Amino acid sequence: MNDNIILQVKNLSKAFGGVTAVNDVSFDLARGEIMGVIGPNGSGKTTLSNLITGFIKKDAGSVVFNGKDISRWPAYKIADAGLARTFQVMRPYATLAAYKNLVPPLFSPRARRTARGKLGDRSAVAIDILEEVGFERDARVPYKLAGTLPLGYLKRLELCRCLALRPELIICDEVFSGLSMSEIASMVPLMERLRRDGITLIMVEHRLRELFRIADKVLVLNFGEKIAEGLSQDIFKVEKVKQAYFGGEDCYVSSE
């Protein structure tokens, strides 16, 4: 097997009763790549990330991460192996300062291992992580109560929760959704920096314009099936994708 492949998903399927949420999806992901996962509402994007990260039991198929078959692993063990994920709905410790939210992930076995005994005071490390990610207009954000933070900062906090584990791959479940244009504009460089740091990203998104700007390749789901996989700029030339998104009419996606 190619060493450069970090994640290999094969024939993944999941049905909830009579509804097939994910049907026979396969893909490979190379180390350091950013892959977008798009599709209309209910096409199985979130279920796919739940299946990969072990939060839902798979009906069939396998997931190989870093050469290890993690198909039957419990969710915490997958995270421990370095495959982190964000959640669409974040529930931070509302009554605590933002940086305190990073203390539990820093408490995890993986964080202790990757720090190689240099972890020290977890609160200080948490503040470091938050400051490194940066809250551009407001340096006091790490000290504010998490319950008072706007959505854009909460999304970053959620991302920081993953970064605390020093993961190799992060599955970002709609980190752009619900954000204003300027907030997204400030998130894009952050994503690019994560890639430079050697982190592979899977981005489940609805915001196509920003996604296409940073993603190396895109996977399109519809009704749980993979209908296309390819480079960002080519994906809307595929007939099936046009069909799923626009009902088959000719379309043009701005590449700016």
List residues binding other proteins (CB under 8 A): 53, 55, 74-77, 79-80, 84-85, 87, 90-93, 96, 100, 103-111, 122, 161-162, 164-165
C-beta of 80 vs 229, nearer to other proteins: 80
Question: Which structure tokens are listed for 62?
Answer: 């396998």
Q: Which is nearer to other proteins, 94 or 181 (CB)?
A: 94
Strands (E), 17-175: 19-30, 34-38, 60-65, 68-69, 83-85, 169-173
Beta carbon of residue 92, minimum distance to other proteins (angstroms, whole number): 8
- Token pair 């080519």 is found at 234
**Which phi-psi region, left, alpha or beta, contains residue 241 (left: φ > 0; alpha: ψ -120 to 50)?**
alpha
CB of 75 to other proteins, least distance (A): 5
Angle, vertex CA 13, rays to CA 11 and CA 17, nearest 5 = 165
Least distance (Å) from other proteins to the CB of residue 84?
A: 7
Amino acid at 163: L
Using CA atoms, how far apart are residues 184 and 163, in angstroms rounded to an integer?
A: 19
**Least distance to other proteins from the beta carbon of 48, Å?**
16
Residues 6+ apart with CB under 8 A from 197: none
Nearest distance from residue 72's CB to other proteins, in Å?
Answer: 16
CB nearer to other proteins: give 5 or 90.
Answer: 90
Question: Which residue number, 98 or 228, has a Cβ lying nearer to other proteins?
Answer: 98
Q: Which is nearer to other proteins, 30 or 103 (CB)?
A: 103
